[in-house]
Amino acid sequence: MAKDSISLLELCQRIKEELANGFGWDRIWIRAEISSYNVSRGHRYLQLVEEEQGRLNAKISANIWANTFQALNFRFRSKLEDYLQPGTKVLLLVRVDYHEVYGLKLNVDDIDPAYTLGEMARRKEAVIEKIKAKGWDKRNKKKPFPLVPQKIALIASSRSAGYADFMAQLKENSMSYAFEIELFESGVQGERAQKELVEAFDQVDPWGFDVLVLIRGGGSQIDLDVFNSEAVCEAIAYSGMPVLTGLGHETDLLLADVVAFKSFKTPTAVASFLYEQLYDFEQKIDFVYRQILDKVNERVGDLGVQEKAQKERFSRYIPSVMTAKMEELRTFAAQLNQATRERFLSESNNRLKAIGSLKQAKRRILTSDRNVISTRLKRALENKIDKEEQKRIHFEKSIAYLSPQKVLERGYSITTFAKGLVAKNNLPKKGDELRTIFAGGKVVSIFKATENED
């Protein structure tokens, strides 16, 4: 005969009776963390756990039957699902239930949202303290912002409305600026969102982009809680480029915004900021161009004035020189005439022929000197005008040769960093990001050190 024993069913029935006697229809408020969540035919199935320093202390299954869920969801304004995500700590009103086949489980009758929000606030405060202690709130803000942010790394969910709004606003900007955008796909809520966001940050090459943009199209306080996580804040703080956030919230302070280079309320606001940066840069370039053009016109005008003044001086100089030379000739002629008369009176008749020869010589001298002087003065004036014209042509060629585009085409380049042009009195520091522009494009580099010339 078998030893005294009972069947498995009898054991399960005794357990059920004992639980019924101990709990009956009593309902108990319990604290737990949701480790998994599934939906089937309108019913919600939860796995509840309690952990301490990474060690599992307790685990049990719980159900929210379809009719109970509908009633609770109505009270939660259709936001109950937000409170049932894995990793969320909850305060549940439950009834203990035991079934001979399905075992022990809890039936959920109510949820206290204040407890969950309180836990989120407590965790958020702890992350804020760590952010301040480690200086994460200042780290990304120290990154130099590019003058022309056209190459954008975008972390978002391509299925979200925020993504569509951002892309439309950026591509259809009124100034028709072109942008290069690469999407790094990531969930922005739910169980896997934190892990996917951190992985997306790791995938972005800091040398391949000008700026990183993180966007989401709004949501409830629980939806947005992933952007308060320590891991996401750390990824933003240590990003190799400036991070702009547009998470679609109006009032809540999100810690991702705190550590970002600059935050905006919506994805469209981020897009507007980006093409406004390009517009501002274009206006600065146009202003510098106008200044250069004004200086060139002013210089050319000065040359014209100088040339005109020289012509006027020459026009005044020639008549005065001619007058002086003619006066010299007249004086010489008068002196010669006087000498001729004296000789004529003193000489005998046999020298009259010689005197006639002297008069002819006088006329030849007068005619020859006048022609020579006039020819020389004319040639000197023409040479002076030709030289001034050559100077003007040479200056115009020098201006064209020294234009910024011509300088770049001859193999030169322009190197800038966050504080402006690299120069002897404006040197970057080790680790600063340099941007070098040349005729064929641009190169981004990191400054290491300077070398002294012997």
Phi, psi at 154, each rounded to 5° = -115, 120
Residue 159 is assigned to a structural domain of this protein = yes
**What does each of the 454 residues of the chain score in pLDDT, given as a tens digit?**
457 888 999 898 888 888 877 776 688 899 999 888 899 999 999 999 998 887 899 999 999 999 999 999 888 876 788 788 888 888 999 998 888 898 899 999 999 988 888 888 888 889 999 999 999 999 999 999 999 999 999 999 999 889 999 999 998 888 889 999 999 999 887 768 889 999 999 999 889 999 999 999 877 777 788 899 999 999 999 999 999 999 877 666 899 999 999 999 999 999 999 999 999 999 999 898 888 988 888 887 767 666 676 667 666 666 666 566 657 756 765 665 565 556 545 654 555 565 566 566 556 655 655 566 567 767 777 777 777 778 777 766 766 666 666 666 777 777 888 878 877 788 888 888 888 887 778 888 888 887 765 4
- Considering the domain architecture, whether residues 362 and 442 belong to the same structural domain is answered as no
Q: What is the DSSP letter of 403?
A: S
Residue 243 is assigned to a structural domain of this protein = yes
Side-chain-side CA neighbours of residue 44 (13 Å): 23
What would the two tokens of residue 270 be? 């981020």
> Quick check: pTM over 0.85?
no
Q: What is the DSSP letter of 419?
A: T
Residue 117 is assigned to a structural domain of this protein = no
- Considering the domain architecture, whether residues 398 and 412 belong to the same structural domain is answered as no
- Considering the domain architecture, whether residues 412 and 398 belong to the same structural domain is answered as no
Which pLDDT does position 370 carry in this prediction? 59
Residue 60 is assigned to a structural domain of this protein = yes
Residue 309 is assigned to a structural domain of this protein = yes
Residue 103 is assigned to a structural domain of this protein = yes
Angstrom distance (rounded) from CA 63 to CA 94 = 9
- Residue 328's domain spans which residues? 284-402
- Considering the domain architecture, whether residues 217 and 200 belong to the same structural domain is answered as yes
- Considering the domain architecture, whether residues 155 and 78 belong to the same structural domain is answered as no
- Considering the domain architecture, whether residues 140 and 261 belong to the same structural domain is answered as yes
Residue 89 is assigned to a structural domain of this protein = yes
Angstrom distance (rounded) from CA 147 to CA 288 = 15
- Considering the domain architecture, whether residues 329 and 261 belong to the same structural domain is answered as no
Secondary structure element (H or E) that encloses residue 96, with its range: strand 89-99
Angstrom distance (rounded) from CA 413 to CA 54 = 56
Q: How many domains does the chain have?
A: 4
Which pLDDT does position 1 carry in this prediction? 46
Domain at 193, CATH number: 3.40.50
Contacts of 62 (CB under 8 A, 6+ apart): 45, 46, 47, 48, 92, 94, 105, 106, 107, 108
DSSP for 123-146 reads HHHHHHHHHHHHTHHHHGGGSPPP
- Considering the domain architecture, whether residues 391 and 441 belong to the same structural domain is answered as no
Angle at the Cα of 445 (from 441 to 446), degrees rounded to 5? 165
- Considering the domain architecture, whether residues 146 and 237 belong to the same structural domain is answered as yes
- Considering the domain architecture, whether residues 218 and 291 belong to the same structural domain is answered as no
Phi, psi at 436, each rounded to 5° = -110, 120
